[in-house]
Amino acid sequence: MAQPRKVIITCAVTGAIHTPTMSPQLPVTAQEIEDAAVGAIEAGCAIVHLHARDPITGRPSQSVNLFRDFVGKIKGRCNGVINLTTGGSPAMTVEERLQPALQLRPEVASLNMGSMNFGLFPMLGKYKDFRHDWEPAYLEATRDMVFRNTFRDIEYILSSCADNGTRFEFECYDTAHLYNLAHFLDRGLVRAPLFVQTVFGILGGIGTHPDDVAHMKRTADRLFGDNYVWSVLGAGRFQMPIAANAAAAGGNVRVGLEDSLWDGPGRLAESNAAQVRRVRSILEDLSLSIATPDEARRILSLKG
Ligand code: KMH
Ligand code: ZN
């Protein structure tokens, strides 16, 4: 009898989109990021996608020392797969963004598959009385900012990590990014199984309509056939609807406070673990089974 499909849950615990004013639950310090990651894995995710923040200001940071601190401790406390960002924040250079993954050699690192606008400024209208001076300026600056991921940048990250066994969560925010990934596959610079994280609802990328989800999947199916593992991430209030839609259509899911601070209309999520529990119960209601970290390692051919 065929084995049931196992759904991989990724939890992105803090990111660089939200700022500390937006939720008291957003992990900031190394201890908070460590506890959030371990809590999410205990709640049922297989992979934790990690960014770091300056512990005093809460600003996104790619300091390798900050990452080293919590990565080692998370590994000491659980068996979850560690995925380190190479996206950092749209305000950082690609060299800066690469350093944690390059030096700490995680099983997985994110890799953003194209340049795009990345508009965080609409959030300015929803918050006042920011806790830190940098927060409104950070959001405002994205009006003019390009999230730069040129072909040379992508190649630079791939070649820099080529010898460390890291595999990638390919972040695709629009159909063009799928074609970019197909280009790198044709050139032999990436290999199957490709872990394709299709991203919905970032201002600058594809939207959140079910047609958008279906179109990304159709395009990926056509370009990659059986050579890819499909996952989805819906930003903000679209997190759970898109997860449910894609899971029912054969996809894997990403949740976490990086992508949405919410647990329902007007209700902040109490933790990353709470979002993992929420998506897990949706998946189980769909009669789907959840992948353990070791099952995710097998599905994605990780180095372990
Ligand atoms: N913040 C997400 C929309 C990265 O870290 O490389 C995409 C992301 C990028 O996670
Ligand atoms: Zn990220």
pLDDT at 40: 99
CATH code for the part of the protein at 6-300: 3.20.20.70
pLDDT at 206: 98
CA distances from residue 205 to 91, 151, 174, 199 in whole angstroms, order as listed: 17, 18, 6, 8
Which alpha helices (DSSP H) does the chain contain, by range?
30-43, 64-77, 94-104, 134-141, 151-160, 175-186, 210-224, 239-248, 272-285, 293-300
Asked if residue 237 has pLDDT above 90, the reply is: yes
Identify whether the C-beta of residue 166 lies closer than 8 Å to the C-beta of residue 105: yes
Q: Which residue has the tokens 């890819």?
A: 228
pLDDT in tens, 125-163: 999 899 999 999 999 999 999 999 999 999 999 999 999
| Nearest atom, ligand 1, residue 110 CA | 6
- Ligand 1 site, residue 169, Cβ cutoff 6 A: no
The neighbour count for residue 58, using CB atoms within 10 Å, is 21
CA distance 34 to 53: 12
Q: Cα(85) to centroid of ligand 1, in Å? A: 7
pLDDT at 272: 98
Q: Which amino acid is located at 227 in the chain? A: N
- Ligand 1 site, residue 202, Cβ cutoff 6 A: yes
Helices 30-43 and 272-285: crossing angle, nearest 10°? 20
CA distance 54 to 14: 12
pLDDT at 125: 94
CA distance 119 to 202: 7
251, with CB counted inside 10 A (0-12, 13-18, 19+), is: buried
Identify whether the C-beta of residue 44 lies closer than 8 Å to the C-beta of residue 9: yes
pLDDT at 2: 75
- Ligand 1 site, residue 258, Cβ cutoff 6 A: yes
- Ligand 1 site, residue 153, Cβ cutoff 6 A: no
| Nearest atom, ligand 1, residue 17 CA | 1
- Ligand 1 site, residue 15, Cβ cutoff 6 A: yes
CA distance 195 to 111: 10
- Ligand 1 site, residue 199, Cβ cutoff 6 A: yes
Best mutation site among 49, 148, 196 for ligand 1, i.e. most ligand atoms within 8 A of its Cβ? 49
Residue 108, SS3 per DSSP? strand
Pairing of strands 116-117, 146-147: antiparallel
Asked if residue 44 has pLDDT above 80, the reply is: yes
Give how far the C-alpha of residue 277 lies from the chain's centroid of Cα atoms, to the nearest Å. Answer: 17
Domain ranges of the chain: 6-300
Please state the rounded mean pLDDT for residues 93-121.
98
pLDDT at 4: 87
Please state the rounded mean pLDDT for residues 263-276.
97
Query: Which residues have a beta carbon within 5 Å of ligand 2, which is an ion?
Result: 15, 85
- Ligand 1 site, residue 110, Cβ cutoff 6 A: yes
Which alpha helices (DSSP H) does 85-165 contain, by range?
94-104, 134-141, 151-160
Asked if residue 6 has pLDDT above 90, the reply is: yes
ipTM of the predicted structure? 0.98
